[in-house]
Structure 1
Amino acid sequence: MSLGFSYIGLIFLLLLLVPNVIWSRYKPAGYDRYVVNENRILLIFERIGEVLVTCCALIFTDFNIGTITGRTYILAAAFLCMILYEVFWIRYFRSRQRMEDFYSSLLGIPVAGATLPVLAFLLLALYGRNIFLLAAVLILAVGHIGIHLGHRKEIK
């Protein structure tokens, strides 16, 4: 693992953050009613995971493209997950922006808005062979996907 700036990590984080900033103006009706019911333990995991993933994605050069090897397919799969994540957001912004739309599946992937970026960063960790990002993603996954599944269960 090598310390330094990761432009790939920055690209992934921008692909993650830009739709979320836009979403803050287009939250589904009633969203605030569900937030108060979030499991506090899952919320702690989510927040810690968010900070750790952000830091790890930026400070390790392991994720930058080097020589093209068989592992490059893992990076391509990570980018595909991020592209699908953007497709999820496009579909959400074009919808009626209800809770059901926000917690919907995409191509059979449950709660795609939470699962796809976690999967993308998991693949990025595997590509970079970075145990720190892997641990951070697992912490994030427990909290973020857990919260989204809880919300989806509530709306049904």
Structure 2
Amino acid sequence: MNFGFSFVGLIFLIMLFVPNVLWSRFPPEGYGELSKNENKFLLILERIGEVLVTCLALFTGIKFGWSLILAVAFILMILYEVYWLRYFTGNHTLNDMYSSFLDVPLPGATLPVLSALLLGIYANNIFLVISALILAIGHIGIHYNHKKEL
């Protein structure tokens, strides 16, 4: 396990953050009400996972090299970008946000979390893997609860 700046991690995080910044300008109607009921424990796990995954993806020293695991991680992130394109070109509704994409349930949460998990496996970094699992519990859990409330 290496530590140092990672351009692979930076690319991954740019792919993650750009749509989220855009989303903050175009949230679906009713999201504010929906988010008021979020489980506080899941929210804490989500925030911890976000910080840890961000830091570890940037500073794990992940080097680019051909790997099926890395390829799948980036394919998942490309699918995440396509999911957001669908959202931004649609009506910006809660149903647009929480509907499945290519049979992936809750793609806005599932795709980036799976990608982060694969990035940790590729980097052979147990801390990034654990961080991605923490993020998965919080982020997917919150999205699942939102979907149930709809």
Q: Give yes or no for TM over 0.5.
A: yes
Unaligned runs of 5+ in 1: none
Report the AA paired with residue 64 of structure 2.
I
Q: For residues 94-137 of structure 1, what are the alpha-carbon distances to aligned partners after superposition, in whole Å with 9 as ceiling and x for unaligned?
A: 11111010111111110000000001111111111110100100
Tell me if 1:17 matches 2:17: yes
Residue in structure 1 matching 2:89, options 94, 97, 100:
94
**What residue number does 1:6 align with?**
6
Q: Describe how 1:105-144 pairs up with structure 2 within 5 A.
A: 105-144=100-139
Stretches (4+) displaced over 6 A: none
CA root-mean-square deviation: 0.7
Report the AA paired with residue 45 of structure 2.
F
What is the DSSP-based 3-state SS (H/G/I as helix, E as strand, rest coil) of the residue aligned with 1:24?
helix
Report the AA paired with residue 18 of structure 1.
V
Q: CA deviation at 1:40?
A: 0.3
Q: TM-score, normalised by structure 2?
A: 0.98
Whole-Å Cα distance in 1 between the matches of residues 147 and 101 of structure 2? 14
Report the AA paired with residue 16 of structure 1.
L
**What residue number does 2:63 align with?**
64
Identity of aligned pairs, percent?
59
What is the DSSP-based 3-state SS (H/G/I as helix, E as strand, rest coil) of the residue aligned with 1:48?
helix
**What residue number does 1:54 align with?**
54
Q: TM-score, normalised by structure 1?
A: 0.94
How many equivalent pairs are there? Answer: 150
Report the AA paired with residue 70 of structure 2.
L
